[in-house]
Every structure is written in structure tokens, then in C-alpha cells.
Chains A and B, each alone.
Chain A
Amino acid sequence: MVVDQLIEWLGSLLSWGPGSPLIFLTAVLIAGIPIFLLMAINALVSVYAELKISAFMQDRVGPMGQGPGLHAGKWGVLQTLADALKLLSKEDIIPEFADRKLFIIAPFVIFIAPFIALAALPFNQNLLISDLNIGVFYILAVGSIGVIGIILAGWSSNNKWSLFGAMRSAAQIVSYEIPVGLSIVSVIMLTGTLSMQGIISYQEGTILGILPNWIIFNNPFSFIAFFIFFISGVAEVNRTPFDIPEAESELVAGFHTEYSGMRWSFFFLSEYANMLIVSGVAAVGFLGGWHSPISGFLESPGWGLFWFFFKIGALIFVMMWFRWTFPRLRVDQLMNICWKVLIPIALLNIFGVGIWTLLKG
């Protein structure tokens, strides 16, 4: 939406009219800046939240300080800013026997995946970069680009730990794409559209006048589908308990063992952006997107933005909660969960949703 409006506006403003490739490029660049800012701010806030949440769950207090200066701000709120400055000023090391070109490209490939996936995420009624009619499919497809970057990083590092991490990650992400896709299929069967805004507008109103008409509450099968989607989503963004690609006690740091400084921080940035996207898709697909939990209450576009980020924040909190509660899975356990539990249940879910929609009319 934003890009279309920008193209129209720029076309009316500038003399050479709409349809010019230059105007398209300008509009896309202008739309890209807030996405980049969103990713950066998301990483800053999420890392601080993660530091604090992990500390509280372990009976610690996390970063603390009495004021700006040496202490990273009151309660350490400037901690992530200081970390970012530290990462920017660190030396950028490329190993001697690394594949130089691939080594340099890999972080950007990983970074691009969440960056372009965010273009289809609707933040409120009007605010989204582009309302694709295949929005969900686009996000799922584009989100898989990241795995190429992980394999590139692992292979080009010329390091056995990195390669192990990359191979594990390939196996894991390719496996967990399937339950993600299957659980989204049950959403699409209900809504009958792939467009993100279409899925959200399906979830307007209430069920029996009490519950919001979100897909998670629509029927028992979609309720299960949400949990399948969320667990597989956590696995897709390589977060603990599914972080075997970077298992620090076994593989040093997995595929980013050899990275340092700014390149490493790109991995970090994209990990948190991936969390944002998985939470965003879960919020759109199952939790009503920008709809308020009480139908008709605080539904303006501004509140829509608030509700959407509230839902995303809650889901990101649950991911952090997972991380600081569960131990890491073994490789065989990971594959067991995916192929023997999540995929059969997701297939049954599709069947169940089909019967449900057939009976309900």
C-alpha cells in the first residue's frame, strides 16, 4: 500500500509521470528505510528485554546502572546501545583460508531474508509496504532464503564447527518449513485468501459474542495449528531449545564461529528480525493481526499499530521464555519432533479443518 501510494505521489510530483523505473526505485528505497529502522530498533529493544528477562528468570538483575556514563543508564537501558557501539568498533577478521567472497556475502544474504519478508507484514489498517495477494506464501518463501546464507557462512568459514552448524541448520530449517507451511494451509483453508490483509479482515467480529473471531479460536484444529506453527517457527529462527546450528556448548558458535564485529552483528540483527517475522505471521494468521481483542473497542489505525506490536511483543516474550526454560534438543530428538509429531498432526489438522468448513457450510 505504502509503495503504491508513494509511486503515485512521486509520479504526480515529478514531471516524468508514473511508470518510470526511477520513481519505482525511489519509492522502494524510501519504503525500505523504515523497515531497516524497525529491524534495528527491534534488535535493540529485544536484546535488552532478553537480557532482563533471562536475568529475572535466573534470579539475577541483569544490566544495572545508576545513570548515564559508566553505568549504561538507569537499570542498564543503554546496555544494547553500548553493545552496538562496541560491535561497530571491533576489528573485522576474515580467516586466512576462508572463502573470502562467500564469507563477506553470507551475512547480507541472511539479513536480506527478514528484510524483504517484512515488506508484506501489515502493521495496521493502512501501514504495510505492499499488500501482495500472495502475502503469506511470499513471507514463507522469502524467509527460506536465510538458510542459504547460513550454509554459505558455514561453508566459507573453512572451519569444522561452522560446517557442522550449517549442515545441522540446513536439515533443521528444511524440515521445519513443512509443519510451518502445513499449519498455514489450515489458515488459508478457512480464510480462502493468501493476502495478509484478507486473512486479518476474515478475523473481524466475535465468536458467540465473547471471544474475538480469531482463527486460533475458530475451531479446535486451528487451535492446535497455532501451536504447531509457533513451535516450528521457533525452530526456524534457530532459537533455543532448537538452536543446534549454533549450540555453543558443542559447536563454539555454530555457523558464525568465525565472524566478528559488524558482520557478526548482522547475524544477530537478522535473528531478532526473524523472531519479529515469525511472531508477526503468527499474529496475523492466528491472533487477529491488528484487531483489538475486544471487537469494536479501540480499533483505530493508531491502536491497530499498538495491538499488532503488543501481540508480536507477547509472542517474542514467549520465545524468550522458551529459551530460558528448556534445555537444547539433541539432533535426533529435533528430527523426531518434526517428522513424527508435528507433521502428522499438522496433516490431520488440515483434514479436520476441511471437515469443519464442510460441515459449517
Chain B
Amino acid sequence: MSKYFYDIWSSISSSMIGMGITLKHMFLIRKGNVTLQYPEEKWPRPDRNIGFEHEDYNVIRSRLHVDMDDCIGCLKCARACPVDCIKIDIIKVPKGSDIGTTSNDTKKRLLVPRFDIDMTECMYCNLCVYPCPEECIFMTGGPNSPKHPIDYEFSEYNREGLIYKFATVTEEEVQKYTEPELPEQPSEGESAD
């Protein structure tokens, strides 16, 4: 008979201990939470010793980037791409209009209203980088590029987010250069981008 009541008592008390533990976890969720809300939060990237100086190390092909200030719209990268993931539209500007120069002092002759790279198709072969005469398309993310932090996740909420649109030409500029009479009075302010 005493065992009967002892069993009841021990089951009640051990249940209370278990319920106390779950309640404690519930109220200390801010401290004990193990879930990382991934696209919003990220684990810190570990510091690592890669065996040589960071300056010598620029072989990471993380993702393509285009400096549109330097692009002359020559389409060489689009032709070099084995999977045709680079899509470029160009507009020939009328003679005499100034749309700026590149950092190599090449005069720009073509307006580039569309420069899309579909990163879902890109296979990181780097073949588009070599033909570029202005060296404006390149892989970023290596430790040597301070402008572009390393990024290897490419996380997006929908597939359209992975089509990178680099073109900086505005709708007005396109209108201006497609209409023939307007480029008579170009000013410095509205040159390239």
C-alpha cells in the first residue's frame, strides 16, 4: 500500500520536474534559441589561414560583376559565354554625342540599356573575363576585392533575383539618344550614367 502512494507521489514529483524544465526553456527562448533565421542572419565566416598572403590569392570565382562605367558594349563577353547567360542590348548613339569615356580613355560609342547576367545559368568558367578589352567584367568576391565582400551563398527568395541587372542607363537617356534631334546640346552633367 505504501508503494502505491509512493509511486503516485514519485510520478507527480518527477512530472513536475519535467514540466519545470520545459517551462524554463520556453521562457529562456531568447537565450537558448538554436535556430538561425538564415537569409536574415548568418553565421560569422571563420578567420582562416590559407597558407599564403591574401594579396597573392585571387582565384575565387564567386560571382560575375560588371563595372558599367567602363563597359563599351562590344558584346565580346556575350559571345565568349558558352552557356549564353549574358544578355546585352545596345543602342548606337548619333555621331557627335558624348556618353563619356572609360577608365582606359576609350570613347564610348554604344549605350547599354540592358546588361543581364543570369547567375542560375552561369557556370563560373571565367571565359567572358579574358576577351573584355576594358577589363570591366570580372569575378568578384576574392579577398583582393575590397569593394565586393566575399559572397558564396547567392540566396534569393525567387528565381528572378538571380538575374543580375547591371545596366545603369535610365529610361530618359534611352529616349534622348533614340530621338535624333535632341543630342545637339549635350552637357557635361548628363554624360555616362
Give residues in A with beta carbon < 8 Å to B: 53, 56-61, 64, 66, 70, 321-322, 324-326, 341
Given A59-B32, A66-B40, A70-B157, are A325 and B22 neighbors across the interface (CB < 8 Å)?
Answer: yes
List chain B positions with a Cβ less than 8 A from chain A: 8, 15, 18-19, 21-23, 25-26, 29, 32-35, 37, 40, 157
Chain A residues near B26: list those with CB within 8 A.
53, 56-57
> With a CB–CB cut-off of 8 A, which chain A residues contact B19?
321-322, 325
30 A–B contacts, CB within 8 A, in A order: A53-B26, A56-B25, A56-B26, A57-B22, A57-B23, A57-B25, A57-B26, A58-B25, A59-B25, A59-B32, A59-B35, A60-B33, A60-B34, A60-B35, A61-B29, A61-B33, A61-B37, A64-B37, A70-B157, A321-B19, A321-B22, A321-B23, A324-B22, A325-B18, A325-B19, A325-B21, A325-B22, A326-B15, A326-B18, A341-B8
9 pairs of A and B residues whose beta carbons are closest in the complex:
A56-B26, A56-B29, A57-B22, A325-B22, A59-B32, A61-B35, A57-B26, A325-B18, A325-B19
Neighbouring B residues of A326 by C-beta, 8 Å:
15, 18
CB neighbours (8 Å) of A61 from chain B are 29, 33, 35, 37
Complexed CA–CA distance, A60 and B34 (Å): 6
Q: What chain B residues lie within 8 Å of A53 (beta carbons)?
A: 26
Distance in angstroms between the alpha carbons of A80 and B29 in the assembled complex: 22
Partner of B34 from the list A59, A64, A324 (CB cut-off 8 Å) is A59
Residues of B close to A322: CB separation below 8 A: 19
CB distance from B85 to the nearest CB of A (A): 26
Please measure, in the bound complex, the distance between the C-alpha atom of A326 and the C-alpha atom of B17, giving whole angstroms: 11
CA distance A64 to B22 in the complex (A): 21
Among residues of A, the one whose C-beta sits closest to the C-beta of B32 is: A59
Residues of chain B within 8 A of A66, CB atoms compared: 40
- Residues in chain B near residue A324, CB distance under 8 A: 22
**Given pairs A58-B25, A61-B37, A325-B19, 5 additional interface contacts (CB within 8 A):** A56-B29, A59-B33, A60-B35, A64-B37, A325-B18
A52 to B180 Cα, complex, angstroms: 64
Assembly CA distance A182 to B51 (angstroms)? 77
Task: Find the residue from B8, B35, B37 having the highest chain A CB count within 10 A.
Answer: B35
Contacts of B35 in A (CB 8 A): 59-61
Q: Which residue of B lies closest to A58 (CB)?
A: B25
CA of A321 to CA of B157, assembled, Å:
35
CB of B1, distance to nearest CB on chain A (Å): 12
Question: Within the complex, what minimum Cβ distance (angstroms) separates A57 from chain B?
Answer: 4
Collect the chain B residues with CB atoms within 8 Å of residue A321's CB.
19, 22-23
Docked pose: A64 CA to B8 CA in angstroms: 41
Among A58, A64, A321, A324, chain B packs the most CB atoms within 10 A around the CB of A58
Q: How far is the CB of A87 from chain B (nearest CB, A)?
A: 25
Neighbouring B residues of A60 by C-beta, 8 Å? 33-35
Bound: A106/B18 CA distance, A: 37
In the complex, what distance in Å separates the CA atom of A60 from the CA atom of B157?
22
Q: How far is the CB of B153 from chain A (nearest CB, A)?
A: 18
Name the CB-closest residue of B to A345: B8
> From residue A232, how far is it (CB to closest CB) to chain B in Å?
15
Residues of chain A with a CB closer than 8 A to B33's CB: 59-61
A residues within 8 A CB of B22?
57, 321, 324-325
Q: Chain B nearest CB: distance from A174 CB in Å? A: 23
Output the nearest chain B residue to A322 by Cβ-Cβ distance: B19
Q: How far is the CA of A212 from the CA of B15 in the complex (A)?
A: 27
Instruction: Name the CB-closest residue of A to B20.
Output: A325
Please determine whether A59 and B157 come into contact, CB atoms closer than 8 angstroms: no
A contact residues around B34 at 8 Å (CB): 59-60
Q: Give, as a whole number of angstroms, the nearest-CB distance from B72 to chain A.
A: 39
